Structure formats: C-alpha cells, structure tokens
Chain A
Amino acid sequence: MQTPWITMDYWLDGWIVVIAILASVSAAILGNFLVLRRLSLLSDAISHSILPGLAAAYLLTANRYSWTALIGAIAVGLITVWLTELIGQYGRVDEGASTGIVFTGLFALGLIMIVQAADRVDLDPNCVLFGDIELSPLDSIVTSIGVIPRSAIVLTVCLLLNTLFVVLLFRLLRIATFDPQLATSLGVSPRVLHYALATLVAITSVCSFEAVGNVLVVTMFIVPPTIAFLLVNRLPMMILASVGVAALAAVVGHLSAVAVPLMFGYKSTSTAAMISVVSGIFLALAILFNVKTGVMVQAFRRNQLAWSILRQDILALLFRDSERGQAARSLRDITTTLLSQSWITAMALRGLVWRGYVTRVNDQTSSQASSSSNSTVGYTLSNDGRRHAQNLVRSHRLWEQYLATTGTQLDRIHAQAETLEHFTNPALRQQLDSETQQPQSDPHGKAIPPEEK
C-alpha cells in the first residue's frame, strides 16, 4: 500500500478550511436551539425549500451573491414555516408530515427552475446537494488586507449575525427554549422567536449554500450541538462546546477528504461530505463514550458495580465461614454457594488477592467442608479482608435488625439486607446502630460484630 502523502496548497487549502469552519460554526450556534426545541428538521426543511428563492434570484440577477438571493431565501424560509403550521393545523397531520409536504414541493419547484435556467446560470443540480467548497476560494475579491474569497466574507457576516442574535437575546432564547409557558407569560411570544430562528436558519443556509449545499448543511446544524448536548449540561457551555466540535470537525473533515482517498489510490473527495462523515463519527463516539449517558460508559459502570458486589459477597461468605470455625473455602465451593460461574469467581478472587484481602492457602485439612471438591487450593481472609468483611456483615445484620423493627416480615429481611449491605457507609451504620438501640444480635440470633476502623 502506498503511503498517504498529503500535499497541500496552503492558500487554497487554508481558505477551504477557513470557509468550512465559518460555515460549521455559524450553523452550530443556531443548531443548539433547534436541537433543544426539537426543531431539528426545520433546518432540513428550510435548507431544501430556499431553493426556489435562490433560483428566482439567480434568474433575476444572474449573480450568485446578491441581496435578492438573501431576500428570496428569507421569504421562502418564512413561507415554509407558515405553510407547515397551516397544513398541520387544517390537515390534521403531525409536524413531520406537513414539513415533508412543504419542503419537497418547494424543492421540486426550485429544481425545475434551475434546470430550466441552466443555460443562463451555471448552477449544477448536483451541486445544490453538496456544494462545491473546493472551488469557492477561487471566487475571490481583492480587498485592502489581501485577496479574500467572497464566501469567506459572506460567511463571516453570517457568523457575526448569528453570534449577535444569540448573545443579545440569550436570556430570552433560554427561557423560550426551556419554558415556553413562562416566556409567553413574560410577554415574549415563542412564535415570534420561532420565526426569527427560521429567518436566521434561512440566512445561514443561503450563505453556506455554495460551500456545503443543502443536505450537508443539516449535519452542521444538528450534529455538533447534539454532541455538545451529550457532553455538557448547561446551555452556555453547550453552545461553546458545539462551536469547538464544529470547528474541529471542519478541520479533520478537510484533512480526511484529502488523506483518506489517497490510501486507496484515489484523489481527494468532497470536503463538505467528509465533514459530515467526521461529524457522524464524532457523534458515534460521543454516544458510546460520553461521561453522562454513554452506552459503553454505562455498561462499564454496571460491570464495575457487579464485580464489586461479587467481591463483597465473597468477603462476607468467608467471614461467616470463619465465624463457624471453617478456615478456608475452595473456588468451586464459593462458585456454587454464590450461584456464580467459576471463571467469574476466579476473576473476583484474583482481584481480592491482588488487593490483599484474601490469601491462598494450600491446606487440605482446612477444607474438609468442601469434601466434594478435589482442589487443594483454598481461600481465606487476611487481616485487611477480615476488617472489611466484618463491617459488611455488621451492615447486613444491622439492616436486618432495623428492618425487623420497622415491621417487615422476617422471611423478607435477609434479601433486602443482602442488597442494602453493599451501599452502607460507616455513618449510616452508626445511625442504624443508634436507631436500633445498639443491639448485640440480629433477628436470626447471630451476633452483630463490632465496627472495625
């Protein structure tokens, strides 16, 4: 396999990355509110339905960047929201369906307009879907600070606009997002903010249209804020995190657009598409590994808890053995008593030995109780282990005593205490002890051992 060797033109690739970052970040800032207000599909709808507005502007001015395009797109964006509400209201269909009707209809109209005008305007229908970020630096203008691509300027203005909107109206947006009723009672109509948001989504879609097209911009609106939503709890942090993720995805996206196809012997692929793929991968990682709700993290925690409970059960078992005067127990014995599996018990025992709570003894005479076992290796508590085990058994018996005083039936207290003993700390033991008037034995007549420090 040939080694990927990335060759870059610093002016061209630099501007592609800058444009990608600007587009991603402007979309992500607004996307936070879309995701939180469950309006994610609004971005999909508006980015599709602005097409006839854009096409009309192209036909009128034969220019890609014009105020007409902006106004056309805003108008169609607002019409989309209005028609969606109307159809949902009178057609008795849910919001998804009415959105689907409006944006497919408008997109089809725009498509036909573009195809009909293909002679006059160089706008490729395929380009509509995924943009042409690679060529956007070529359309540049000379300013006093150097040659700057036109779309970089447009997107900077767009980013400033979105930032101003979010910063100036932050309190209002937060209230309207999390408590629409409160916002209404404060005199802020969530509907007005809804339309304002739709307008800005339309503006952002138009500005990033040439760079990323209208399907991939949906990624930029939704995915970085969703990742941020998984990672942090508070809204300001979520916005900042989404901006960071968006910028990172833009950079990594462009690099992988250049590098990944090289590994298979092809030239670079679409940067916008790779930004989308990279964002998707980031999101998959966030879903699996985020600290709060990550699928793998939760599985790991559940696993950890299960292991520690098993270890504590083994300690308690060995302690009760020593109370009865039995010195050690074999692996198979522990496994059958705790209804476990031998490899799992072995792993747990290895953990206990490593921690120094349990010692292995090669003593056949002491494992007479396990006469069915032909193993000569037994396990017994060390001094450290005995202290831990004693507190565990103390917790168990205190809980039994406490549950008995609350009137729980005697045949139920053991099972409950078996669960609760694993979640009891010294302070709670102290409290249980005083609540039950420092008993000497539990309801089954077993002695409650003293607290070990």
Chain B
Amino acid sequence: MMSVGILFGMLFGIHWESLSFHLLGIAMLLESEAVESFTPLTFDYNTQVVVVGTSLLGFAGGAIGVLLLLRKRALIGDAIAHATLPGLALAFFVATALQIDGKSLWVLLPGAAITGLIGAMTVVAIRTFSPIKEDAAMGIVLSVFFGAGIAMMRIIQQMPDGYAAGLEGFIFGKTASMRFQDAWLIAVSGATIIGLLVLFRRQVELMCFDESLARTQGWPVTLVDIGLMAATTTIVIVGLQAVGMILIIAMLVIPAAAARFWTWRLWPTIATSSFIGCIGAASGAIISTMAPRVPSGAAIVIVLVILFSFSALFGRKNGTVWRWARRYQQRRETDQQHLLRSIYEWLELKGSKPHDFGQTRSESFLLNDLEFVRNWSPLRLARTANRFQRDGLLLQLSQNRWALTATGIQQCVRAIRQHRLLELYFAQIANLSPEAIDRGADYSEHALNDQMLAELERDIAGASIGYAVPDSLHPIGNVQSLNHQSRNEANP
C-alpha cells in the first residue's frame, strides 16, 4: 500500500519539481514514528536502526551519484568498491598481529578506505602515465585489487579465528550485522557529504557543466574532483555493510539515472535521485529483514531497478509511455491530414473537386476508391474516416459511401493547399525531382504553422493564385492501385 502511495507521490511530486515536497517526504520517512507506521508489521529496534541507516545511505548515495553521472565517472565507484577488499583483509591481518579485535569496524573501515582511495588513484595514474584508456584502467584496478583481496581472504580463512571474521558479509552485504553506532556512522557521513555539497554548490554546479569555465574562473577543479572521489569512497565504505562491495555501485548509478527521466535541472535531479535512493534502500532493507536469506544488497538493487524501470516508463522527461503516446498522437494527426488530402485528390481526379465557399457538402465517394491515391489498408482507412465522422468532418451516406461536410471541405482544402504550396516551394527553390517533391512535402507539411503557410503563399504562389488550390505537379495515384482499380471494375 505504502509503496504505491510513494510511487504516486513521486509521479506528482516530481511533476511539480518542488524541492520542498521531496524534503518533506524524506523527513517524514526518517521520523521514527513514520518508520514504525511504515507497514502493519511491527519492527524491532534493530530493524528500525537498519532501515534508518540504509535510507540515509541511499539519500547520500543518490546525491553523489548525480555528480558522478554528470562527470561521466559513474563506474569509478565500482573500482573503488572492489578495491576495498584487500584493505579489509590487510586491516584484519594488522589488527590480529597487534592483538586488537580484527572484526571491529573502526579497524576494518579505515583499511578499506585506504585501499579504496589507492584504487581510485591507480585508475588516474594509469590513465595519466600510460596510453591505457580509462575503461581498461577501471577494469584492471577492479579485478586485480579484488583478486589480491580474495587471495588474502583465503589465507584469513585458515587463521584460527579467521573463519568467524565475517568479512564475507562485506562482499554481498549483511544488514543483520548492523548496529546502532553503524547507523550513526552512516548518518554523520551522509550529513557531512550533503552539507559539503550545499556549501560548495556553486563550484559543483560549474564543474559539472562547464569544467573549462570553472578553471578559467580560478576554481580549484582538481580539488573539488578529489573531494568528489573522497565522498564517493566514503559512501562506498559506509555502504559496505548494508549493500556489499559488488552492488554498492547500484546505489550511486541507478537513482541518478532514474532521476534523469523526471527532470533535467541539476538540483531537482539531485533531490529526486536522493529520494529514489532513500526509498529503494529502505524498502530493500525491509525486504531483506523479512526474508533473511535474500542478501540485502541484492534486495536493494532489485527495488532500485524497479524504481528505475518505473521512471523509464512513466518519467515526464523522455519516459517510454509518454514518448509512445506522443508518437501515436503524431501519427494520428499525420494520418488525418493524409486522408483529407487523398479525398481531395480523388475528387479532383473525378472532376468534382470541392470548393470551400458555398458548398455545404462535397460530392460523395467510395472509401475503397481512396486506395487508388493512398495505399492504406482498408482498416486504417475506415479507422481514420470514423474518427473524422466523430469530429464532424465526414458524413457516412451509406455502407461505403462518404462525403465531406462544410467544415470537412475547409480542412481538406487547407491540407491540400499546404501540401501543394510546399511542393511548389521545393520545385522552385530547392530544385528537386517530382518524386522527391511529393515525398519532401509529405514529410514536412505536418510541421507547417499558419505563419509559415502565409509566407509560402506570399513568396511562392504570389498574387496570381489567390485563394485557389494550385494544381498538382505530378500525376496522382500509383500503378499498383490502378491495377487494383481496374480489377475491381472488371469484377464489380
């Protein structure tokens, strides 16, 4: 129930593009009462901690993800995440050698952060000091660091207290091991990142959209870039427990990419992305606590992918459904104009072309005959004609016999004038061949507005034409339909 509500909230909230709405929604979600009343199930204290912690993580990850996406660095997060594994293992080795508890997060996470940053710097170093391209550099760092980590993990498993080290939990994520102070850790790092983002918003904005301008204005772009890498590493490190190193990249990439379907402005995108990340992480964590065998990272990613697919389908910017609707609408309008033109052409061929003054109804015609001038399926013809009848442009006299009404005649003459004026334009100005003239006019006539039409009348046709319809520059109808026609006449 709740999730449906949230999805609708997203749809409308983002339609208004109001920042305050998102913040309100997130604040409501984060209040403990709201979490408690989230589902009819009552959550214990530990689950509440996990849900609040992961949703904060999703929030911060969504925000940073947008910047990474705009800097086209999305997958650097993946390289950093995989590079944390040797750090975890090394930290465990060192702690055990120093007789400290090697499973403490205060030991493991700094180790992970160090190798994570080394991984990020290695990508930059490889790109700078060798001819190797960035994609290969990322793949190399990702797999080689991970390999080193795996090799060390195998050795840790042989150590006396290594089996219970629980380092595997960091690979796929294990929210069950999350404690209160871990949620605090995420909250503090997330708040710091968001705070810095707000503080340096102008630099960030400039850097994302016009790096060279930022440089010429004297902003320390490299420093801000390093800050972005540090923020990414922080998100990855604190997210290791909840999501795991393999899938943490999804928290950075998916919300940001989903937000692109709702808005193209920077700060609304960041707000939307944070919101999606927050919802996805929280619901994933809840699913994983309810179904303990599902790794929490996988659950979060699946929810995020569902939210992404929803955005890709229904997003106001370039969403598939809207795009299809627009295309359908466009095709319908094109069909209508083409049919009107065909009716005129057919009536003209028969020597009874309609006049848009004084005539209340055109000569009647058979719908089948229109196939001669426009090679459509009978179904498409009938569908378009029926639509015209509803709009009062056509009149059905009998089963197959139709006529234009007065309004229909006006629209019909307008359509044919538009087409033929364009043909004239193409013939006189662009010097196209007759076939190309018809095709060109066919494509572009639908984009004409009244002003352009008036210009065409003035410049191309001149005073000589008056309000009359120019003659066609090419024979009307096609050979195939002509055969069809004669066959029909042979066997009535």
Residues of A within 8 A of B (CB): 35, 38-41, 43-44, 48, 87, 90-94, 96-101, 104-105, 107-109, 111-112, 115-116, 118, 125-126, 129-130, 215-216, 218-219, 221-223, 226, 229-230, 257, 261, 264, 266-267, 269-270, 272-277, 279-280, 283, 287, 293, 295
Contacts and interface: CB of A to CB of B under 8 A. Distances in A.
Contact of A273 (B136, B147, B299): B147
A43 B301 CA distance: 20
A41 B301 contact: no
A91 B147 contact: no
Given A41-B139, A101-B250, A222-B139, A279 B144 contact: yes
A411 to B, nearest CB: 34
Contact of B253 (A100, A125, A264): A100
A115 B288 CA distance: 12
B90 interface: no
B275 interface: no
Contacts of B297: 108, 111
Nearest to A97: B74
A219 B78 CA distance: 15
11 contacts: A90-B312, A91-B312, A91-B318, A108-B247, A126-B171, A215-B246, A222-B136, A226-B132, A273-B150, A283-B144, A287-B130
A275 to B, nearest CB: 7
A276 B146 contact: yes
A40 B139 contact: yes
B144 A219 contact: yes
A94 B72 contact: yes
A223 to B, nearest CB: 6
A280 B393 CA distance: 74
Given A115-B294, A279-B144, A91 B75 contact: no
A118 B145 CA distance: 28
Contacts of A97: 69, 72, 74-75, 253, 256-257
B485 interface: no
A90 to B, nearest CB: 6
Interface string B59-78: 00000000001001111001
B139 A218 contact: yes
Given A100-B74, A111-B298, A126-B171, A219 B293 contact: no
Interface stretch (B37-45, B151-159, B333-341, B401-409): B151-159
Contact of B75 (A41, A48, A107, A216): A41
Interface string B273-288: 0000000000000000
Interface size band for B: 35 or more
Contacts of A264: 155
B126 A100 contact: no
B253 to A, nearest CB: 4
Contacts of B133: 35, 38, 40
A103 to B, nearest CB: 9
Contacts of A129: 146, 150, 171, 246
Contacts of A91: 257, 260-261, 312, 318
Given A100-B74, A266-B155, A277-B148, A223 B143 contact: yes
B298 A287 contact: no
Given A40-B136, A295-B129, 7 more contacts: A94-B74, A96-B73, A104-B250, A112-B298, A112-B299, A216-B146, A270-B150
Contact of A280 (B74, B148, B159, B168): B148
A101 B298 CA distance: 13
Given A115-B295, A264-B155, A226 B129 contact: no
A44 B74 contact: no
Contacts of A118: 293
A108 B302 contact: yes
Contacts of B295: 111-112, 115, 125
A232 to B, nearest CB: 13
Contact of A287 (B126, B143, B293): B126
B136 A35 contact: yes
A273 B158 contact: no
A287 B146 CA distance: 20
Contacts of A283: 140, 144
B260 A104 contact: no
B130 A100 contact: no
A118 B302 CA distance: 19
A276 B143 contact: yes
A410 B403 CA distance: 94
B85 to A, nearest CB: 10
Contacts of B472: none
A279 B154 CA distance: 19
Indicate the member of B138, B254, B257, B299 with the most A CB atoms within 10 Å.
B257
Given A104-B247, A275-B147, A96 B75 contact: yes
Given A98-B257, A104-B253, A115-B295, A267 B135 contact: no
A44 B79 CA distance: 11
A230 B247 contact: no
B142 A44 contact: yes
A295 B172 CA distance: 37
A105 B143 contact: no
Contacts of A38: 133, 135-136
Given A100-B74, A116-B293, A41 B147 contact: no
Nearest to A41: B135
B26 interface: no
A273 B249 contact: no
B305 interface: yes
5 A-B pairs closest in CB distance: A276-B147, A280-B144, A108-B301, A273-B150, A104-B250
A115 B168 CA distance: 15
Given A41-B75, A97-B74, A270 B154 contact: yes
Interface string B285-314: 000000001110111011011001000100
A283 to B, nearest CB: 6
A261 B145 CA distance: 18
Interface in B409-463: none
A266 B256 CA distance: 45
